Amino acid sequence: MKGNILLIGASGDIGSAIAKKLLDTGYQLILHYHSNQAPIKELMQADERNAILAAYQADLADEAEVADFIEAVSISVDGIIFAGGHAHYGLFQDMRAEEMDDLLQVHVKSPWLITHHFLPAMIRQRKGNILFVTSIWGDYGASNEVVYSSVKGAQNIFVKALAKEVALSNIRVNAVSPGFIDTKMNHNLSLEEADAFINEIPENRAGRPEEVANVISYLLSEESSYIQGEVIHINGGL
C-alpha cells in the first residue's frame, strides 16, 4: 500500500474520479462527503481490496461538524486532498453575508483547521502530501462568482505559503487549478453559455474529471518529488 489518503469531497465528480484513480494505483482512502452518499456507496461496493478504510459525513460550512469530523478520524493520515466545495453564482451586490461566510468556511477556514490538525503528525514522520483542487477563477477572477474566486485565490496562496514552511520537513503542498471541467457544478450554465465558454478553449472541449485525477495522482507520487508550492493548470490552454 502506498499510504493513507484523506480525501475531502469524495462524492463530487472530481472527488469520485480521484478516489477511483487512487484506489487503482494502490492507496488506502479515508473518504469525506457532505450529503451525497450514493457515490460513496458505489466506491465502497467496487472496492475489492478493502482499501477504503472509513467514510465520514460532515458539512464543511459548519465549524462544529468539522471539529467532530477531525476528532472522529482515528486513522493515521499520510496525505490530504481537498476536492470538495461549492460555488455561488450571482451578482456580488446581491449576496447575503451568510452566503459569504459559508464559502469562506468551506473553502478556506475548514481546510485550515483540517490541515492544522493533521500536519504535526506529518512533520514528526517527516513525510506528507497536501493537495488542493482550486479553480481557474482563483487566478483570474470571474464576474458573478466574485466570492468564489476570492476563496479559491486564498487556497492558491495558502498552498504557496505553507509549502515554504514545511518543505524542510519533507512535506509537499501543491494544487491543481481546473478550468472548464464537465461536472455538475457547471450544469447551471445554459447550453449557449457552455458553448461560448468552450469556444474560448484552444482544445475546444471541456475537461474530464479523470484528467484532473491523473494530475493529482502524479503529484502524490515520488515522480513529482521536486514539485513544491505549485498550482498546476488543467484548462486545455484557456
Q: Quick one: how far is CA 124 from the chain centroid? A: 24
Domains identified in the chain, total number: 1
Higher-confidence position of 194 and 50? 50
Residue 235: is its pLDDT beyond 70? Answer: yes
Residue 226: is its pLDDT beyond 80? Answer: yes
User: Containing domain of residue 161, as a range?
Assistant: 4-234
CATH number at residue 132: 3.40.50.720
* Model pLDDT for residues 6-27, shown as the tens digit of each residue: 999 999 999 999 999 999 999 9
Distant-in-sequence, close-in-space partners of 18: CB < 8 Å, separation ≥ 6: 7, 10, 81, 83, 212, 213, 216, 217
What does the radius of gyration of the chain's CA atoms come to, in whole angstroms?
17
- Residues designated as active site: 148
For the purposes of burial, counting CB atoms within 10 Å of the CB of 222, is it exposed (0-12), middle (13-18) or buried (19 or more)?
exposed
Asked whether the beta carbons of 84 and 106 are under 8 A apart, the reply is yes
Q: Residue 81 half-sphere exposure, CB side, CA atoms within 13 Å? A: 34
Average pLDDT estimate for 123-139: 96
Average pLDDT estimate for 77-89: 93
pLDDT of residue 188: 66
pLDDT of residue 162: 98
DSSP 3-state percent helix, strand, coil across the chain (nearest 5): 50, 15, 35
* Model pLDDT for residues 59-82, shown as the tens digit of each residue: 999 999 999 999 999 999 999 999
Q: Residue 8 half-sphere exposure, CB side, CA atoms within 13 Å? A: 30
